[in-house]
Chain A
Amino acid sequence: MDGRALLAELPRLRRYARALVGERAAADDLVQDTLERAWARSAQWQADSNLRAWLLTIMHHLRADQLRRRSLPLTSADESELPCRPTQSDGLELDALAAAIGQLPEEQRAVLLLVALEEMRYADVASTLAIPLGTVMSRLARARERLRQILDEESGGTRLRVVQ
């Protein structure tokens, strides 16, 4: 495998890892571990298959391992968990969203992010996370409803608008 093909996926892997893990150093560690494992196992990758999905699968295995043996973590050394400072007008909304995302159970967050950020098909999410399609659907539904509740509470219920 060409190392450059792997590197081309790096920005997206990082975006996803940061959204999933929240904290920068831990997310970057996860990306680095993913890259290295992928590189070490590049013989297992089939040239005509989807490289990104393969990498995300590796990342999820590593992440599951990490969560299984998680020890007492020290606080992050990063100055902020929020990756970006968007424009003034939607800054508050996005802050609230970032906080709400952080409150979701990680298994729900993973499904939501794969669908929303990575725009993966439900079936691909199921195979990446090695869970049944029905579980993908129920986690997605719970994540979205939970986010909607949290954000509604934040905005005092005034957010609900009917459009369409």
Chain B
Amino acid sequence: MNDLPVPEAELHAFVDGELSAERQAQIVAWLAQHPADAARVHAYRTQKEQLRRLYDPLLDESWPVSLNARVSQMQSPSASRSLFDADDKAVLSTSPENQRVVRTPLPRSLFHKGHWLAGGLLTLSGVLVGWLAHAYLQPPVTPIVSLPRQAAVAHAVYSPDIRRPVEISAENEEQLVNWLSKRLGARVRPARLGPLGYQLIGGRLLPGNSGPVAQFMYHDASGQRLTLYLSSENTANQETAFRFVAQGPLNVFYWVDGQFGYALSAAIDKDELARLAKAVHEQFEPR
């Protein structure tokens, strides 16, 4: 055995089993006489072992909803490559522009609303269609541009909070609803998302542009949190299509309906969030 110091790279290669048996044995002999190197080797091995202990439990973790959808597509015998075309995810957060606004079709139910047909002015339907199309094609008007941003920030601030995510919890829902309604000056209530896997945690009052707004928080079985941001500040009283913004990992659907602005935020797949947004929209539709 020669007494030349073992190069650092070889200590790593020793730990990772990259050396020949012969060299491996020489290093064992070296370590026996060089406690500092032996301590390093020990530390590196411990790191390696602890990394496995730290991350191996993830192997058994259930898959998130967003992956499940893809997984079931891949498992189906008819899965074809066209399901996964590159364009498919153009609006997800990893798209070249990280923030995009897209429109998804307005739910049919919006067209059943009385007010734009009021007066039976069907002769003006051409004008109305034009107006609707105009409303569709316009970029978001100023007041609602801030809506998703505010909702996203509120989501980012409160949803990671383990101990105090809400001011009033779902057990006291009646109290929560009365309080928020009183403060917002309009009847507000949380949407029911239980059938879609999200249970209400509770809600809180937040400052909006000119007054109070409400945030309801939900979670699913895996602990994934979802927030519904509700503003009654929309004095323009217009309606909009669903709009979508991705901000980093967070996806936000938002829309304006009459006096209320709604924004639904969660770090979940866009399609999944769209389903939830439609469910919320349907529940708040005026009857």
The chain A residues found within 8 Å of chain B, CB to CB, are 3-4, 6-7, 10-12, 14-15, 18-19, 23-26, 28-29, 31-33, 35-36, 39-40, 42, 62, 65-66, 69-80, 83-84, 86, 90, 93-94, 97-98, 101, 112-113, 115-117, 121-122, 137, 140-141, 144, 147-148, 151, 159-164
Residues from chain A with a CB closer than 8 A to the CB of B159 are 77
Docked-complex contact A79 and B58, CB < 8 angstroms:
no
Interface assignment of B75: CB less than 8 Å from any CB of chain A: yes
Docked-complex contact A162 and B38, CB < 8 angstroms:
yes
Docked-complex contact B52 and A117, CB < 8 angstroms:
yes
Q: Residue-by-residue, is B220-264 near A (CB-CB < 8 Å gives 1, otherwise 0)?
A: 000111000000000000000000000111100000000000000
Residues from chain A with a CB closer than 8 A to the CB of B41 are 164
Docked-complex contact B51 and A144, CB < 8 angstroms:
no
Residues A116 and B51 in contact in the complex (CB < 8 Å), given A74-B247, A164-B41: yes
B226 to chain A, nearest CB (A): 8
Most buried by A among B40, B66, B94: B94
Most buried by B among A10, A15, A98: A15
Docked-complex contact A28 and B67, CB < 8 angstroms:
yes
Docked-complex contact B58 and A14, CB < 8 angstroms:
yes
Docked-complex contact A77 and B57, CB < 8 angstroms:
no
Residues from chain A with a CB closer than 8 A to the CB of B35 are 162
Q: Residue-by-residue, is B42-79 near A (CB-CB < 8 Å gives 1, otherwise 0)?
A: 11100110111111111111011011001100110001
Residues from chain B with a CB closer than 8 A to the CB of A160 are 39, 43
Docked-complex contact B61 and A32, CB < 8 angstroms:
no
Q: Which residue of A lies closest to B48 (CB)?
A: A116
Docked-complex contact B96 and A162, CB < 8 angstroms:
no
Residues from chain B with a CB closer than 8 A to the CB of A97 are 47, 50-51, 54
Docked-complex contact A7 and B54, CB < 8 angstroms:
no
A103 to chain B, nearest CB (A): 14
B159 to chain A, nearest CB (A): 5
Binds A, one of B82-90, B123-131, B179-187: B82-90
Interface assignment of B108: CB less than 8 Å from any CB of chain A: no
Docked-complex contact B12 and A141, CB < 8 angstroms:
yes
Q: Is the interface of B mostly helix, strand, loop or mixed?
A: helix
The chain B residues found within 8 Å of chain A, CB to CB, are 8-9, 12-13, 16, 18, 28, 31-32, 35, 38-44, 47-48, 50-61, 63-64, 66-67, 70-71, 74-75, 79, 81, 84-86, 88-89, 92-94, 96, 98-99, 152-153, 155-157, 159-160, 162, 223-225, 247-250, 265-269
Apart from the given pairs A3-B74, A71-B98, 8 other A-B contacts in the complex at a CB distance below 8 Å: A15-B58, A32-B269, A62-B94, A83-B61, A122-B16, A141-B8, A148-B44, A160-B43
In Å, the complex CA distance between A19 and B223 comes to 19
Docked-complex contact A90 and B13, CB < 8 angstroms:
no
Residues A73 and B47 in contact in the complex (CB < 8 Å), given A28-B66, A28-B67: no
A115 to chain B, nearest CB (A): 6
Docked-complex contact B267 and A76, CB < 8 angstroms:
yes
Docked-complex contact B44 and A144, CB < 8 angstroms:
yes
Residues A14 and B61 in contact in the complex (CB < 8 Å), given A31-B67, A33-B89, A148-B40: yes
Residues from chain B with a CB closer than 8 A to the CB of A71 are 98-99, 248
Residues from chain B with a CB closer than 8 A to the CB of A94 are 50, 53-54
Docked-complex contact A40 and B249, CB < 8 angstroms:
no
Q: Which residue of B lies closest to A70 (CB)?
A: B98
Per a CB cutoff under 8 Å, which of B12, B32, B40 touches A140?
Answer: B12
Residues from chain B with a CB closer than 8 A to the CB of A98 are 54
